[in-house]
């Protein structure tokens, strides 16, 4: 599997933001959960449909484990790699590879 063979094999189908700017009283988990809920709703899905999770934060050592517990979901696949400014592109690439190889079921 090469990067070029993955071109066009995945799509972002829902987006969400939450608490942009000042967000007094909200923790990093609150902010990630709010954005997740909005992205899942934007995609026309429910939290129970989520079987994989990617994420990164400096506030938690295992952000995907923490977020899965916070949201009440048990993902079959997770990635919390931190690669600096390209972390979220890395997450998309790894999620695409996991889906293509059968490690993560397709939605």
> What's the CA angle centered on 52, arms 38 and 102, to 5 degrees?
140
β-bridge mates for residue 78, sequence order = 53
pTM over 0.75: yes
Q: What is the pLDDT along the chain (107 residues), one digit of tens a residue?
A: 666 788 888 888 999 999 988 899 998 889 999 999 999 999 999 999 988 888 877 777 788 888 999 999 998 888 888 877 888 888 888 888 888 877 665 44
Q: What is the pLDDT of residue 59?
A: 76
- Distance of alpha carbon 17 from its chain centroid, rounded? 13
């Amino acid at each position: 599997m090469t990067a070029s063979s993955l071109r066009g094999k995945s799509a972002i189908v829902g987006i969400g933001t939450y608490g942009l700017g000042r967000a007094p009283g909200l923790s990093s988990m609150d902010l990630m959960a709010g954005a997740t809920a909005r992205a899942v709703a934007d995609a026309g899905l429910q939290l129970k449909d989520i079987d994989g999770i990617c994420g990164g934060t400096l506030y938690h050592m295992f952000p995907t484990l923490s977020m899965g517990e916070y949201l009440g979901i048990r993902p079959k696949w997770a990635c919390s790699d931190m690669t600096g400014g390209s972390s979220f592109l890395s997450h998309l690439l790894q999620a695409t590879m996991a889906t293509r190889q059968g490690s993560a079921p397709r939605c």
